[in-house]
């Protein structure tokens, strides 16, 4: 910079427009706008910036009316396409103005759009012109009402759809997925409750669902690699299924590699019983995560054991232990009757268990893992000190006495003191 000043040459201003746009794009929007005071030539260089983000920090910094005026000014001065637009904050309640901004953006070829409302009770209703964003590739909507018009033709270029606390007619989702043929990632968190959640997405690679649904059907998901399903509540059925839910659930996802499920989904999967043969459609699963697994529940434990036996390539197992007041003896006996895991954990390397208490049933589960996993490298567990039934030293001593298929396995048991956790 000093040599450029002495020679009187402004090397930065002479850079190609696309290079300048790239430099300005790396700056926060507030700093990019400040470059307008550098010189007359720089006054409007920022107006071609292709990414505009008015996030939480923006709405904390400016009062509502001031924030609204800034956004209007930025949009009115802007020239060219806006490829990425983000809007959201704690005081985002200026709904009529958002309608105007979205109408303006509908002509700007937006490819990535994020809108985060601030109220669960007074949600923003996405206007009809929002559904004309034909160039969208990434869409994230939080705390809004999502009701496409009857003539909605879909987002043909969309690859990532992320909906949080969004209210919509459950029947809309099936049509929306169908009209997004390139969709690869779908996230639904705490949205509308479903009777039947049906997924028919030939290019879907990742599906993350957290909420309520009485049933889930993967009609067509041949490319699915990562699946997260956390049900908020139990699924109650009037009559037992004719055939096993677990077979129907997994039969159309041969590419699955990462599975993350909740205890409530385990109960749903075990309805109709567990088949005698293991599922060949799950041959590629390498990572298995279970949230809120109740070791006192025979359905939970038998479901997990069945799934583990269906994962011949499993490398990482993570379990969050839950609490449940049921008899332990039948589950302990079930685990003791399992002589081995039939070679299913021959590639298992790491086991991690959180909220682990050291109960007899939990220890029996680890005993079974240790006896079967030949390349196991590490078993780690943790819980708060006051919730442990055994001390960390007692847990480790017990595990070291079990028969081990892997001679080099490392044991880690952490006791967290509440005072330390609050620091």
What is the reported pLDDT for 39?
47
- The token duo for 407 is 């001679």
Contacts of 183 (CB under 8 A, 6+ apart): 158, 159, 160, 161, 177, 201, 203, 204
The SS3 assignment for 298 reads helix
What is the reported pLDDT for 1?
40
Span 117-133, mean pLDDT? 87
Higher pLDDT, 63 or 162: 162
Local confidence band at 418 (pLDDT 50, 70, 90 cut-offs):
confident
CA separation for the pair 332, 278 (Å, rounded):
22
- Per cent of the chain over pLDDT 90 is 57
Considering Cα of 324, then 197, then 138, then 65, what sign does the dihedral take? negative
What is the reported pLDDT for 101?
94
Contacts of 421 (CB under 8 A, 6+ apart): 384
**167: which DSSP letter?**
B
Span 390-397, mean pLDDT? 92
Local confidence band at 32 (pLDDT 50, 70, 90 cut-offs):
low
- Overall pTM surpassing 0.95 (yes/no): no
Higher pLDDT, 326 or 214: 214
What is the reported pLDDT for 278?
86
Specify the range with the lowest mean pLDDT, choosing from 60-64, 140-144, 163-167, 292-296.
60-64
Span 359-378, mean pLDDT? 94
Is the pLDDT at 129 greater than 90, yes or no? Answer: yes
Q: What is each CA distance from 177 to 8, 59, 74, 125, in whole angstroms? A: 58, 33, 34, 20
CA separation for the pair 358, 119 (Å, rounded):
42
Contacts of 157 (CB under 8 A, 6+ apart): 111, 134, 135, 136, 137, 182
Local confidence band at 224 (pLDDT 50, 70, 90 cut-offs):
very high
Specify the range with the lowest mean pLDDT, choosing from 66-80, 186-200, 251-265.
66-80
Span 25-40, mean pLDDT? 54
What is the reported pLDDT for 29?
59
CA separation for the pair 282, 253 (Å, rounded):
8
CA separation for the pair 151, 29 (Å, rounded):
36
């Amino acid at each position: 910079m000093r040599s450029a000043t002495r020679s009187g040459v402004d090397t930065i201003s002479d850079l190609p427009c696309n290079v300048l746009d790239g430099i300005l794009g790396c700056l926060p929007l507030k700093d990019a706008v400040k470059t307008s005071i550098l010189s007359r030539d720089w006054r409007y260089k920022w107006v071609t910036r292709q990414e505009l983000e008015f996030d939480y920090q923006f709405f904390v910094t400016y009062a509502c009316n001031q924030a609204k005026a800034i956004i209007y000014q930025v949009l009115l001065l802007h020239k060219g396409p806006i490829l990425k637009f983000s809007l959201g904050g704690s005081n985002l309640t200026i709904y009529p103005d958002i309608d105007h901004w979205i109408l303006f953006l509908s002509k700007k070829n937006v490819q990535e759009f994020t809108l985060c409302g601030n109220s669960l009770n007074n949600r923003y209703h996405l206007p009809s012109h929002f559904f004309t964003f034909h160039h969208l590739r990434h869409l994230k909507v939080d705390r809004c009402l999502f009701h496409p018009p009857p003539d909605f033709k879909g987002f043909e270029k969309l690859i990532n759809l992320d909906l949080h606390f969004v209210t919509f007619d459950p029947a809309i989702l099936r049509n929306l997925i169908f009209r997004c043929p390139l969709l690869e990632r779908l996230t639904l968190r705490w949205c509308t409750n479903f009777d039947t959640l049906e997924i028919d997405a030939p290019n879907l690679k990742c599906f993350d669902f957290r909420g309520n649904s009485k049933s889930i059907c993967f009609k067509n998901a041949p490319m699915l690699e990562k699946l997260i399903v956390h049900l908020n509540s139990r699924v109650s059925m009037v009559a037992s299924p004719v055939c096993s839910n677990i077979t129907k659930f997994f039969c159309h996802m041969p590419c699955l590699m990462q599975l993350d499920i909740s205890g409530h989904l385990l109960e749903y999967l075990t309805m109709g019983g567990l088949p005698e043969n293991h599922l060949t459609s799950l041959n590629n699963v390498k990572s298995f995560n279970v949230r809120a697994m109740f070791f006192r529940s025979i359905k939970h434990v038998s479901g997990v054991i069945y799934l583990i036996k269906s994962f011949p390539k499993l490398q990482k197992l993570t379990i969050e232990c839950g609490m449940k007041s049921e008899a332990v003896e039948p589950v302990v006996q079930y685990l003791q009757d399992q002589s081995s895991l039939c070679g299913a954990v021959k590639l298992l390397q790491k086991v991690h268990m959180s909220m682990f208490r050291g109960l007899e049933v939990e220890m029996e589960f680890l005993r079974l893992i240790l006896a079967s996993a030949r390349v196991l490298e590490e078993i780690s567990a943790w819980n708060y000190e006051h919730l442990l039934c055994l001390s960390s030293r007692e847990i480790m001593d017990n595990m070291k006495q079990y028969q081990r298929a892997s001679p080099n396995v490392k044991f880690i048991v952490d006791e967290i003191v509440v005072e330390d956790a609050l620091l």
